[in-house]
Structure 1
């Protein structure tokens, strides 16, 4: 049994949306109102204190180690905690808000608790991990544990 096929010209993204212009304008207005609501909610202290933020970080792998470079500008060494397990690195701490005069009209920088976590696919030497903080960048070097390397075994006669 053959069924009729309707052919439409162009790809779906080229045909446009099936609704009219007034409905699309209403969606634009709805998105704008939601953005304003979320921005105002972010300034509510009860919401921002409960939520941790994740600092920008890069995880590099070499043959010998993993290296995490985490951006933590304005955070003192004593406010940063680094923990390394067999297969995980965790960087956490707190960025305290500075005392300022006047009324805060816009918040663009995060404050409060922060946390970064990454899983590591191989065992590491957690007792040989090093960390340094320079120019607002925390660098954590995590040496890999030596895996058993294949070697040629001589067969005895």
Structure 2
């Protein structure tokens, strides 16, 4: 089958695969659609959650993660650490009600959103040593490396087979 026959005239394929081009076009359309509602451009996961944009930096002392969560309050954000997996979750629910008897209208608008991001960490940090602060819509998390066990050399005794 000629895949190029599936494309609109004048369109080219990405790496020769029309489905890659279709996926990119759909992502572009959804991003533009989200902007119309005042939502920040964020990636949507297959579970329907919106994934906040993050920066992850690894240093000698540990990991530094910053996540953009515009419009959220610190009490709407939660961080959970289970072993070597860090889960960032933010949920917001808003409801606005307008009512005017003279004009005979009643309006209730509800909005809710959930952001979710999980990080598989290269080490299991001590939960009591993790630091997090929320500053102007940006969450900053510092995960210090755990103290390593001493790497001293040891001699292993070899037994004779018998």
Q: How many residue pairs end up in the alignment? A: 116
Which residue of the partner structure matches residue 90 of structure 1?
87
Q: How does 1:1-157 map to 2 (within 5 A)?
A: 24-25=8-9, 35=26, 51-96=48-93, 99=96, 112-151=113-152
For the pair shown, which has the larger CA radius of gyration, 1 or 2? 1
Moved over 2 A (4+): 17-20, 95-101, 149-153
2:73/2:137 contact within 8 Å kept: no
5+ long unaligned stretches in structure 2: 13-21, 37-46, 99-110, 155-162
Residue 85 of structure 1 deviates from its aligned partner by 2.1
1:25 is paired with a residue whose SS is coil
Task: Indicate the structure with greater helix content.
Answer: 1
Normalising by structure 1, what TM-score?
Answer: 0.57
Deviation readout 1:107-150 (Å, 9 max, x if unpaired): xxx96011011101112111111110001110011111112242
Q: Which has the higher contact order (CA 8 A, sep 6+)?
A: 1
Q: Quick one: distance in 2 between partners of 1:76 and 1:57?
A: 17
Q: Quick one: distance in 2 between partners of 1:142 and 1:23?
A: 48
Q: Quick one: distance in 1 between partners of 2:3 and 2:11?
A: 14
Q: Quick one: distance in 2 between partners of 1:111 and 1:53?
A: 12
Kindly tell me: are residues 58 and 151 of structure 1, through their superposed partners in 2, closer, same or farther at Cα, counting changes over 3 Å? same
1:68/1:141 contact within 8 Å kept: yes
Task: Indicate the structure with greater strand content.
Answer: 2
5+ long unaligned stretches in structure 1: 1-16, 44-49, 102-109
